[in-house]
């Protein structure tokens, strides 16, 4: 299941329960992902990670769906199966259509290709792109 | 400059010039990035890459700015300096504000962190996220 | 099981058996990991890899447990499921507590995050950090 | 220098100055790394990243020098030049000798090699390493 | 099976069928890999990817088997399980012997190791290797 | 130049000189790459790495030029600037033409793209590709 196993709500410490409660309230669901139940062995990291994620993924200059798609782009590039599976569902719930998903994939594939072409050809950065 | 050097418009074959012309028309600028000038040693790859990029980055279910930000997310995850430099400028030209850039970076950083936490803890994919 | 299958002790050549014997003696266990049984199709690589690993992971300026944790840090960053699974068990056998594991994960996650933030922001290396 | 430039202490907002002050106090130095001066354009990310880093890198079940070496292991695997440069200096200041550095590098190199061998040979995880 | 499911020949649109037909003709087999059946939800990407792959993997200055082995080298470095599995079979069908596979793996492992050693030691590029 | 600096032949220990001598003899050149001069601070790793490299890159079931191109494929995928620069020169010296280089790049780019497409679409491995 996970290196240290999962901590369920019923057997969680008050500190962990408080995070679980906040996840449930924020996400409007009773479901707690395996990720959080695995992290709960380290309450400090659980809290820090959840607080950071909540803050970062909230609406801001970018909308939550765009943020989910950026998350997927990173997760695919890193070949993280869990992250792709969970954030794809999450993006779909926030309104990602099949057409949007397909375009997202096409961009991610293309970017990975040109990243390597430019590096392999040892292309120097254009003067106008330098800081 | 680049492994095989750059091919400038003046010394380019008609086949390469045709791609350069299309880049200039499509992007409404006379400037040809070093990337294309390096790729021009292989006209087939130059054409294929440009045609694919033009098709993929065009407006569709996702708007061009979102696509540029996805490109940056991939390029940062791959640590591709050239790609980050050129696509950041490109995204700014398409309207990415400093606030949008900062949120983009925060999401990319967070996704890279949780990708590794979930992998390191060997978290099994939740049944509900499986296909 | 593996691309070329596993070679068991009973059907191994003398050259492979000699490596298996050394693994058993060094690790004080009869168990031979799948990794070695897969590599055994290439006795030269089997011997070279085992000899290198034995030399590198031995006590030196760094203790064996620290080395195991470094191995995990790399394996998590590379998203190598097999390596994470085997080296986590190995580190636990050498004394890694759950608290140590959790801190290891927190550092690995954080490093992956800041690696991308610094790259994404295109931060120039401080003069004082240059060689 | 960096995508959005650096924010120096003199021109920083009170919110940013508070973080800079804490960095100076915690690290017992007046010097603020370029990384923080680049991040300061996004005070929320600056604060969150610094607070997380301070918490994670503090002495705990693992000592600060081990944590620095883990940071280097990740940064090398990610090919992050800035991170390698800054954390190598940091580890040296915390007592990493040349011999420790060399062993660290040997482990990182070896882990990257075997990560790929095991993946390339498609080796199935041993039953005893499964969770 | 895949995020959007597979599209079988029988239920495919004429546009998708045309690509499937070309795959079958080119590869001299009736079998369509899962990859193509997953991509078929996005006919433009299906066509573009297939056309590019067909062009790139055709005999040229490099022979098809060498190209398959390069594909494997990349896929192993990226830890892409699907790609390793499918291209290993493909390379074997094109004549890759077990000895060739083992040498391929040894080179890939070694390159991954020295890539990190050179980066970790922050080795400056030799003047003679610069463009 | 490098974290610990370079060790030149003149100031090298007999153990290091022996490796340098073997590099010179094997490669038929007086030039010692910066990589070896940086590694020389750790004679055991210098010797082990050189011996492994010499063995792995020697003619076998695969010819030396193919091996150099595989090295480049890995180095590009890892974004290792030093490795790309040095192995590109090395491959050219062994006969890699510009046309071969361009095809190599095209395959590497394509493989990186499809690696991500297949992962992003969460495509299950075909039964016939499983071991």
Looking at residue D110, what is its pLDDT?
A: 98
- Give me the DSSP letters along A54-116: HHHHSSSSS-HHHHHHHHHHHHHHTT-HHHHHHHHHHHHHTT--HHHHHHHHHHHHHHHHHHH
Task: Tell me the average pLDDT of chain B.
Answer: 97
How many Cβ atoms sit within 10 Å of the Cβ of residue A93? 12
Do E3 and A122 lie within an 8 Å CB cutoff? no
Looking at residue D35, what is its pLDDT?
A: 98
Do D52 and A55 lie within an 8 Å CB cutoff? no
Of A1, A44, A55, the CB nearest to D131: A1
Tell me how far apart the alpha carbons of residues C116 and B73 are, in angstroms, rounded to a whole number: 9
Looking at residue E119, what is its pLDDT?
A: 98
Name, in order, each residue with C-beta under 8 angstroms of B63's C-beta and a sequence gap of 6 or more. Answer: none
- What are phi and psi for residue B70, nearest 5 degrees? -65, -40
Cα angle D1-D4-D7, degrees, rounded to a multiple of 5? 80
Closest CA to E104 of F114, F56, F50, F53: F56
Looking at residue E13, what is its pLDDT?
A: 98
How far away is chain A from the Cα of D99, in angstroms, using its nearest Cα? 32
Tell me how far apart the alpha carbons of residues E100 and E91 are, in angstroms, rounded to a whole number: 10
Task: Tell me the average pLDDT of chain A.
Answer: 97
- Name all chains with 3 or more CB-CB pairs below 8 Å to chain E: A, B, C, D, F
Could you tell me the CA-to-CA distances from F73 to B115, C113, E26, E98 in Å, in that order? 25, 26, 26, 21
F69, pLDDT greater than 90: yes
Closest CA to F70 of F94, F46, F49, F47: F94
Looking at residue B128, what is its pLDDT?
A: 94
Of A3, A48, A131, the CB nearest to D52: A48
How many Cβ atoms sit within 10 Å of the Cβ of residue B127? 7
Name, in order, each residue with C-beta under 8 angstroms of D28's C-beta and a sequence gap of 6 or more. Answer: none
Asked if this assembly's ipTM is beyond 0.95, the reply is yes
A124: tokens are 């120097």
A131, pLDDT greater than 90: no
Q: What is the pLDDT of residues F85-121, one digit of tens each?
A: 999 999 999 999 999 999 999 999 999 999 999 999 9
Do D113 and E115 lie within an 8 Å CB cutoff? no
How far away is chain C from the Cα of A130, in angstroms, using its nearest Cα? 10
B110: tokens are 């967070």
pTM given for the model: 0.98
F122: tokens are 């969460």
Closest chain F residue to B42, measured at CA:
F102
Q: In this structure, what DSSP letter does residue D126 have?
A: P
Q: What is the pLDDT of residues C67-81, one digit of tens each?
A: 999 999 999 999 999
C76: tokens are 């998590």
Looking at residue C1, what is its pLDDT?
A: 82
- What are phi and psi for residue D109, nearest 5 degrees? -60, -45
Contact call for residues E109 and D117 (beta carbons, < 8 A): yes
Cα angle F42-C119-C79, degrees, rounded to a multiple of 5? 65
What SS3 class is residue D62? Answer: coil
Do B42 and F122 lie within an 8 Å CB cutoff? no
Task: Tell me the average pLDDT of chain C.
Answer: 97
Looking at residue C63, what is its pLDDT?
A: 98
- Name all chains with 3 or more CB-CB pairs below 8 Å to chain B: A, C, D, E, F
Rounded average pLDDT over A115-128 = 97
pLDDT band at D1 (very low <50, low <70, confident <90, very high): confident
F131, pLDDT greater than 80: no
Could you tell me the CA-to-CA distances from D35 to A45, B105, B111, C121 in Å, in that order? 23, 13, 19, 8
Q: What is the pLDDT of residues D29-77, one digit of tens each?
A: 999 999 999 999 999 999 999 999 999 999 999 999 999 999 999 999 9
How far away is chain C from the Cα of F90, in angstroms, using its nearest Cα? 23
Closest CA to B81 of D125, A60, F81, E31: F81
Best to test chain E binding among F32, F55, F112, F118 (most E CBs inside 10 Å): F118
The percent of chain A in helix, strand and coil, each rounded to the nearest 5, is 70, 0, 30
Rounded average pLDDT over F34-52 = 98
Closest CA to D103 of F98, B27, C60, A115: C60
Closest CA to B62 of A90, A101, F119: A101
Looking at residue F1, what is its pLDDT?
A: 82
Tell me how far apart the alpha carbons of residues D92 and D81 are, in angstroms, rounded to a whole number: 17
Do A105 and E45 lie within an 8 Å CB cutoff? yes
Cβ contacts (< 8 Å) between A4 and chain B: which residues? 121
Of E76, E85, E120, the CB nearest to D116: E76
Q: Determine which helix (DSSP H) or strand (DSSP E) holds E114, and give its type and residue range.
A: helix E98-120
pLDDT band at C45 (very low <50, low <70, confident <90, very high): very high
pLDDT band at A101 (very low <50, low <70, confident <90, very high): very high
Rounded average pLDDT over C48-77 = 98
- What are phi and psi for residue D59, nearest 5 degrees? -60, 140
How far away is chain F from the Cα of D19, in angstroms, using its nearest Cα? 30
Looking at residue E1, what is its pLDDT?
A: 82
Task: Report mean pLDDT in 10-residue bins for chain E, 131 residues.
Answer: 96 98 96 98 98 98 98 98 98 98 98 98 96 70
pLDDT band at B1 (very low <50, low <70, confident <90, very high): confident
A53-74 burial: b if 16+ Cβ within 10 Å, else e? beebbeebebeebbbbbbbbbb
Looking at residue E62, what is its pLDDT?
A: 98
Contact call for residues B48 and A88 (beta carbons, < 8 A): no
Cβ contacts (< 8 Å) between D99 and chain C: which residues? 60-61
B131, pLDDT greater than 80: no
F42: tokens are 């750790």
Burial of D44 (0-12, 13-18, 19+ CB in 10 A): middle
Task: Tell me the average pLDDT of chain F.
Answer: 97
Rounded average pLDDT over B58-67 = 98
């Amino acid at each position: 299941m996970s290196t240290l196993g999962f901590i369920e709500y019923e057997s969680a410490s008050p500190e962990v329960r408080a995070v679980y409660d906040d996840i449930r309230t924020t996400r409007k669901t009773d479901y707690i992902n395996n990720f959080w139940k695995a992290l709960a062995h380290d309450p400090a990291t659980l809290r820090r990670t959840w607080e950071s994620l909540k803050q970062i993924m909230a609406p801001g200059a970018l909308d939550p769906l765009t943020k989910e798609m950026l998350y997927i782009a990173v997760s695919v590039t890193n070949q993280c199966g869990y992250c792709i599976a969970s954030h794809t569902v999450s993006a779909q719930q926030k309104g990602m259509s099949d057409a949007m998903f397909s375009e997202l994939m096409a961009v991610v594939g293309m970017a990975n290709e040109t990243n390597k072409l430019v590096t392999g050809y040892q292309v120097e950065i254009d003067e106008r792109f330098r800081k």
